[in-house]
Amino acid sequence: MNKKMPLKCILLVYSIAMIFVLAACGGKDEDPVQTSDSTQPSGTEGSDEQIGSEVETWGESIKDKFDGQEIKLAFATHPSTDAFQKMTKDFEKVTGVKVRWEVMEQTYLKNKQLMDFTAKTGTYDVLMVDNFWGDEYVSKKVIEPLDKYIDDKNLTPDWFDYEDIVPAYRNGFTKYNGETYGIPTAGETRFVGYRTDLFEKYDKEPPKTMDEFLELAEFFNGKEQGLYGVSMRAQRGIHFASGLMGVLYNFSDGFFDQETGEILMTDPKTVQALQFYVDMLKNAPPDVASYTHEEALSAFMAGKSAMWLDATAIAPAILDPEKSSVFDKVAFVPTPEGPAGRASALAGWSMAIPENSKNKEAAWAFILYMNSRSMGEEYMANGGVPVRTSQFEGSDSTGGNALNIAILEALEDANALVERGISWVPPSAKLGQILDRVGYYGSMALSDEMSVEEASKKAQKEIEEIGIK
């Protein structure tokens, strides 16, 4: 696959997603909870024609069982939610199942889902779940395994095409202990953006290894007036730790051993990863210590850096001529390979069935329909975030631009991490505290308040005190 993919005149097929907790999750509404029935406008015109005869036949069987039954959903404000709401009228028409939506900002969503679980009220039938919550939800038995639905041909016809879901998403953030607990609805990874004009001018190739990545950052840093080598996250605390995670697994197995719970901050491989990240940031704009994902993105779009490493979900802004000064001179490649091999971020959302739902089969019918390959084109046309290989590669009519191809290639590296048996999101209920401490001491090393080795030792001690469980 061609690694150099200039992205001139690309038509974007999906909206910028709300960014996930470490890959930048957020979104606010004046009213934290929006409750509605299926009054959202229908999505694409001619939707009846898009529903194939197999889906219609399936719909009749669902209608025979559940006509008039209501299911209630707890979802986050998100482009994928908007797309699913636009598709709801067609689903109701085909199946006879009535849908009641509750849409809210992410923090309210998790609290409300857990409150319903604790109270055992069984209010909801379908949950939108951030993969950062997955380990907690599974261990507490908030959501139930879905393999019995997926494997049952009577419940899951071939047109759903489970195997078409990108392997990194299918295997990476919806499976726990070998069981499936969700169907991916939106996701992201991370990759490197680079200035094709500068690389061509100085006869440079995009980085394939971490050594090359650092060499290029050092080469371009100060090469031209106002130009720096790279732009990445480095704000003290969680944002620094999140940025570090963008390269961490290319050097080591993470902040702690995910099987034994052993803290690995002073492991030589983890120290090497932190040293590399600090060295990279020395070639960033002088105010990089204040950068979240937003500032790092803005610096790159303003032409201040030759390279950028961050979330695929926010990459479309780089290609927007109204926002970016480099929109027509950018290409993307996967996160460079490190001493530990290939790896890349993996974050996203899935649909799940709560353990205490009273309408599980009707809930599965909704999940099946909305996330099927047969509905994939309509989902994308309504602004959904791609999770299927067919949507990325363009075997369906809505996909196939160069950005999608670059993202799909990066997701192959994310799946390589999955195959190593490592979750990019460290499985710990105390993850926020851990990341805060890692990012606190990492930023102190960046500002030369202490050495990388000392920062690693202090982070090791504090994480041991915090604990993993």
Cα distance between residue 128 and residue 105, in whole Å: 12
Do 145 and 289 fall within a single domain?
no
Residue 292 and residue 425 share a domain: yes
**Does residue 25 sit within a domain?**
no
Contact assessment for residue 468 and residue 430, using Cβ atoms and an 8 Å cutoff:
yes
Structural contact between residues 189 and 387, judged by C-beta atoms closer than 8 angstroms: no
Of 371, 366, 344, 362, the C-alpha closest to 425 is 344
CA dihedral 434, 439, 442, 446 (to 10 degrees): 180
State the amino acid at position 24 in one-letter form. Answer: A
- Structurally, the chain folds into a number of domains equal to 2
Domain end (from 361, 381, 396): 396
Q: How far apart are CA 207 and CA 335, in angstroms?
A: 8
- pTM for the full predicted model: 0.80
- Provide the residue range defining the domain that includes 117: 33-188+347-396
CATH number reported for the structural domain that contains residue 157 in this entry: 3.40.190.10
b/e 378-398 (16+ beta carbons within 10 angstroms → b)? bbbbbbbbbbbbbbbeeebeb
On whether both 267 and 377 belong to a single domain, the answer is: no
Say what angle helices 268-281 and 238-248 make with each other, to 10 degrees: 110
> Could you give the angle at which helices 268-281 and 210-220 cross, rounded to 10 degrees?
20
- Are 250 and 319 found together in one domain? yes
Q: pLDDT of 274-304, one tens digit each?
A: 999 999 999 999 999 999 999 999 999 999 9
**Up-side HSE of residue 167: CA atoms within 13 Å toward CB?**
11
Contact 42, 382 (CB under 8 A): no
From first to last of its 469 residues, the chain has per-residue pLDDT tens of: 333 334 333 323 333 233 333 343 333 344 566 776 654 544 444 444 545 789 999 999 999 999 999 999 999 999 899 999 999 999 999 999 999 999 998 879 999 999 999 999 999 999 999 988 888 899 899 999 999 999 999 999 999 999 999 999 998 889 888 899 999 999 999 999 999 999 999 999 999 999 999 999 999 999 999 999 999 999 999 999 999 999 999 999 999 999 999 999 999 999 999 999 999 999 999 999 999 999 999 999 999 999 999 999 889 899 999 999 999 999 999 999 999 999 999 989 999 999 999 999 999 999 999 999 999 999 999 988 899 999 887 644 444 588 888 998 999 999 999 999 999 999 887 888 999 999 999 999 999 999 999 999 999 999 999 999 8
Integer angstrom CA distances of residue 98 from 49, 73, 89, 105: 21, 11, 9, 23
User: What's the pLDDT tens digit per position in 45-73?
Assistant: 444 454 578 999 999 999 999 999 999 99
287 and 387 inside one domain: no
